[in-house]
A and B are shown apart, each in its own frame.
Chain A
Amino acid sequence: MKPLEPVPRRSLFLPLGLLTVALIATSASAGPPERDFEDVTARAGVAARHHNRAFKNPYAAIMAGYTALGAAAAVADYDGDGFEDLFVTDSGETGKNHLYHNNGDLTFTDVAGKAGVADGNDASNATADALWLDYDNDGRPDLFVVRFGHNQLFHNEGNGTFKDVTRQAGLDRYANAITAIAFDYDRDGYVDLFVGSYFQPIDIFRPQTPRFFPESFETANNGGGLTVWRNQGNGTFKDVTREVGVNLSGWTLDLGHADADNDGDDDLYVACDFGTDRFLLNNGDGTFKDVTKETIGIDTKKGMNADWGDYDNDGWLDVFVTNITDDYMREGNFLWRNNGLDDKGKLSFTDVARETGTYDTGWGWGGKFFDYDDDGWLDLYVVNGWVSAGPESYVPDVFQMITRPNVDFADARNWPPMGNKSLSGYEKKRLFHNEAGTFREVAARHGLDSTRDGRGIAVADFDNDGRLDLFVANANAEPYLYHNVRPAGPHWATFLLEGRKSNRDAVGAQLRATAGGRTQLRFVDGGNGFASQSSRRIHFGLGGAPVIDRLEVRWPSGLRQTFTNLPAGRFYRLVEGEPDPKPFEPRKK
């Protein structure tokens, strides 16, 4: 701090006019910087608290420290009224899941009970995540509820209700599933299901063995891995995991798909706790190849999120992965910059988290790319914090176990109970503003630096005002709905895609918009990012450009279409194969 300097005598004799100007200038610059987000959670009626599952078995006290999960949110306009709705999970044994119907005025009504999707929790099932997907291409989003136990598939009946079709779809199998995404890996026009599981498929509610914890902190391969369910196009799914070349048994926490090598099919990033993340390249023939070693290397970190976005606007999709960064464990996140293909056609990534300032987000969970200020650069919001409880730290307990010779980590009985201790708790969330490829942290300025234990982030324009809002699911706590209130100014345009030959939701479609001399790449994602699913609408921030000069759409089917001179400030509906964009006018109330 600089010492106070005496006021020069002559300043006391400033002319009055000049003094007035000076005062105005001072008050303008001294005021608090404007916030771009407003917390509207309570007002919007979405404040129902999440409850962690309390297990009732001999290992319950130990498990409590490792299962503070299940707070998730998924966005879709399930009733087609033009407003994005929200499915929000609970995990407590008697906790109900919520289907928040968007009333169109930034308030919501929980209709889960009436719709038939509230009952996601009981003594043998705990909800962990949720995913909207139109598996039968009828134009109505169906709902997949991811659970420790048996997953649920609900068919959207189109009348505000859902029908449980899990068994008839062939998906009724026990798994300790924690994440799911849907994309059309074989490009047959139907989205397939990729389900990641944390624990191996033992009955976690009544374990028959104590040896179900991770065998290692860095190379564990005794987790639940990944199951690939192929959509057979007739309302059923088939487990094709081995057939498609997937053989993973890590502690999966998140999945993220994207066409990393721009070859027309979607590749897959698998974020794993207690060990190595995996990157699987789509061979284009309905199979995948594990290219982890060649592309990202073998890591030993605690991968928890996989969100793809072209943060540097170079036309190649990059991926953001959270890990643990704290005083006692300095792993650092990954921001895998996509280097594109070399002259031999080989894809590679470089971790630029340190260089871009996105390395440290504490004990990170969900992280989402989105352009909150419509400047044409993808910003990044990251939530964090494991367990925020009492003032005592759990760290020494864990390290005492770790440093014990020959300890069998797989045996849950060797892990110390957490009790009311905290571990990487009360961490502040981070909003990274993208400044042409590097980031500046601005969460506090915008009121987004809460300290609840964040898990999932769903991005959507809930009030159709052309600005992206945020819904944050917190573990064992109330969520947040942050309304984007940034003053109008920068231009934007939003696109809703409808596949014909491609899957109906056009998941996997790439859009390249050129405006104001810059080209941006966005794609329709099928649920990327930890414990959350954002809107499938494509939103372009255009900065000062009032028109998109050229929009190139590459549909999952391979069809390419180009549109020109699209005025900003509008919602467009693009139908595969149709030459002109259709107006898409979400109702305003």
Chain B
Amino acid sequence: MKRLRTLLLLAVCAAPALHAAAFDDAMKAVSAHNDAAALPLFESALTADPDNLQYSNEYRKAVIRTKEYDRAIDFYGKLTAAHPQAAFAWLNYGYTYVDKIPDAGSITQVILANNALTNFTKSIDLKKSWIALYTRGNSYLYWPKIFGRAPLGVADLEAAVAMARAEAKKKKVYVRSWIALGDGYWKTEQPEKAKATWREGLQLFPGDPQLQARLARDGEELEKYIYDQLDPNKRVDTNLAPLWEE
């Protein structure tokens, strides 16, 4: 009995080392430009640590490079089924759909975007994080006006901005929530609130080029700029590294 307990303890202690080792091997494969070899190693690491944002982030980067979107969607489907409480696994499940969008046809884009929203919602239901609220809120803004999703986006983004405001240290990445909230106000025909939000953002994050670009434009020029930013054919930046790189 005592021996069994020792073995279990060893196994528990060794597990992090094992998935860390798998992740390290995956990164080595990436460095060697061998994404195909890296993918199963990332999957091993994530199977052991499904909520690890860094693992997911590097995995999805490799998926984008190899365009193995369906493999990743399948993987996260199984991962979240096995770990239904893993909020960040759900979040990354959503991102895999988003990552596929620029390489899909216009109708598939809608289906992918819809699936992504479903998974972002599951993540938020489990854990109200800034990244999940920002992500879902921003996703709503890509939908055509006729679907009426922009107000839902504004609600999420107001919550994300409130969370960011409450943080003592404002990470640079938080600027995205001010940018997106302004876009949301603009899309819901509240141009003054949009400008005020972007201005507040610029005070907090001086010199941010995206905020400056919006504040420098008006009318049709601004409309064209924002629509250009929200073009589903352009890849959305789902790189999460800025969350921990500062």
Output the least CB separation between A389 and chain B (Å): 15
A403 CA / B107 CA spacing, docked (Å):
9
User: Do B106 and A300 touch across chains, with their CB atoms under 8 A apart?
Assistant: yes
A326 CA / B232 CA spacing, docked (Å):
12
A332 CA / B106 CA spacing, docked (Å):
10
User: Do B232 and A300 touch across chains, with their CB atoms under 8 A apart?
Assistant: no
User: Do B146 and A393 touch across chains, with their CB atoms under 8 A apart?
Assistant: yes
Output the least CB separation between B102 and chain A (Å): 11
User: Do B146 and A330 touch across chains, with their CB atoms under 8 A apart?
Assistant: no
Determine which of B105, B108, B111, B146 lies in contact with A328 in the assembled complex, contact meaning CB atoms within 8 Å.
Answer: B146
Determine which of B110, B145, B232 lies in contact with A399 in the assembled complex, contact meaning CB atoms within 8 Å.
Answer: B110
User: Do A403 and B231 touch across chains, with their CB atoms under 8 A apart?
Assistant: no
Q: Does B52 contact A (CB under 8 A)?
A: no
Output the least CB separation between B114 and chain A (Å): 5
Contact with A along B174-199 (1 / 0, CB 8 A): 00000000000000000000000000
Q: Does B239 contact A (CB under 8 A)?
A: no
A402 CA / B231 CA spacing, docked (Å):
20
Contact with B along A386-401 (1 / 0, CB 8 A): 0000000101100100
A399 CA / B232 CA spacing, docked (Å):
16
Q: Does A122 contact B (CB under 8 A)?
A: no
Output the least CB separation between B125 and chain A (Å): 20
Give the number of chain B interface residues (Cβ < 8 Å): 15
Chain B residue with the shortest CB-CB distance to A324: B106
User: Do A328 and B114 touch across chains, with their CB atoms under 8 A apart?
Assistant: no
Known contacts A330-B232, A395-B144: does B110 contact A301 (CB below 8 Å)? no
Q: Does B210 contact A (CB under 8 A)?
A: no
Known contacts A327-B144, A395-B146: does B111 contact A402 (CB below 8 Å)? yes
Known contacts A217-B107, A328-B144: does B232 contact A403 (CB below 8 Å)? no
A167 CA / B240 CA spacing, docked (Å):
68
User: Do B146 and A402 touch across chains, with their CB atoms under 8 A apart?
Assistant: no
Q: Does B238 contact A (CB under 8 A)?
A: no
Q: Does A549 contact B (CB under 8 A)?
A: no
Chain A residue with the shortest CB-CB distance to B115: A403
Contacts of A23 in B (CB 8 A): none
Contacting residues of chain B (87-119) with chain A, CB-CB under 8 angstroms: 104-108, 110-111, 114
Q: Does B147 contact A (CB under 8 A)?
A: yes
User: Do B146 and A329 touch across chains, with their CB atoms under 8 A apart?
Assistant: no
User: Do A329 and B145 touch across chains, with their CB atoms under 8 A apart?
Assistant: no
Determine which of B104, B114, B144 lies in contact with A403 in the assembled complex, contact meaning CB atoms within 8 Å.
Answer: B114
Q: Does B66 contact A (CB under 8 A)?
A: no
Q: Does B34 contact A (CB under 8 A)?
A: no
Contacts of A324 in B (CB 8 A): 106
A271 CA / B52 CA spacing, docked (Å):
47
A300 CA / B114 CA spacing, docked (Å):
19
Known contacts A393-B146, A399-B147: does B114 contact A330 (CB below 8 Å)? no
Output the least CB separation between A413 and chain B (Å): 19
A217 CA / B107 CA spacing, docked (Å):
6
User: Do B146 and A218 touch across chains, with their CB atoms under 8 A apart?
Assistant: no
A327 CA / B226 CA spacing, docked (Å):
13
Q: Does B233 contact A (CB under 8 A)?
A: yes
Q: Does A331 contact B (CB under 8 A)?
A: yes
A218 CA / B233 CA spacing, docked (Å):
15
Chain B residue with the shortest CB-CB distance to A299: B105
Output the least CB separation between A271 and chain B (Å): 16
Contacting residues of chain B (104-146) with chain A, CB-CB under 8 angstroms: 104-108, 110-111, 114, 144-146
A331 CA / B108 CA spacing, docked (Å):
12
Contact with B along A127-142 (1 / 0, CB 8 A): 0000000000000000
Contacts of B106 in A (CB 8 A): 217-218, 300-301, 324, 329-331
Chain B residue with the shortest CB-CB distance to A326: B144
Contacting residues of chain B (206-246) with chain A, CB-CB under 8 angstroms: 231-233
User: Do B233 and A329 touch across chains, with their CB atoms under 8 A apart?
Assistant: no
User: Do B231 and A329 touch across chains, with their CB atoms under 8 A apart?
Assistant: no
User: Do B144 and A300 touch across chains, with their CB atoms under 8 A apart?
Assistant: no
Chain B residue with the shortest CB-CB distance to A331: B106
Contacts of B146 in A (CB 8 A): 327-328, 393, 395-396
Output the least CB separation between A299 and chain B (Å): 8
Contacts of A395 in B (CB 8 A): 144, 146-147
User: Do B231 and A330 touch across chains, with their CB atoms under 8 A apart?
Assistant: yes
A327 CA / B110 CA spacing, docked (Å):
12
Question: Top 10 A-B pairs ranked by shortest CB distance?
Answer: A300-B105, A218-B105, A217-B107, A327-B144, A328-B144, A329-B106, A403-B114, A331-B106, A395-B146, A393-B146
Pairs A–B under 8 Å by Cβ, sample size 13: A217-B107, A218-B105, A218-B106, A300-B106, A300-B108, A301-B106, A326-B144, A327-B144, A327-B145, A329-B107, A330-B233, A395-B146, A402-B111
Given contacts A217-B108, A395-B146, 5 further A-B contacts (CB under 8 A): A218-B105, A324-B106, A328-B144, A329-B106, A399-B110
Chain A residues with CB under 8 Å of chain B are 217-219, 300-301, 324, 326-332, 393, 395-396, 399, 402-403
Chain B residues with CB under 8 Å of chain A are 104-108, 110-111, 114, 144-147, 231-233
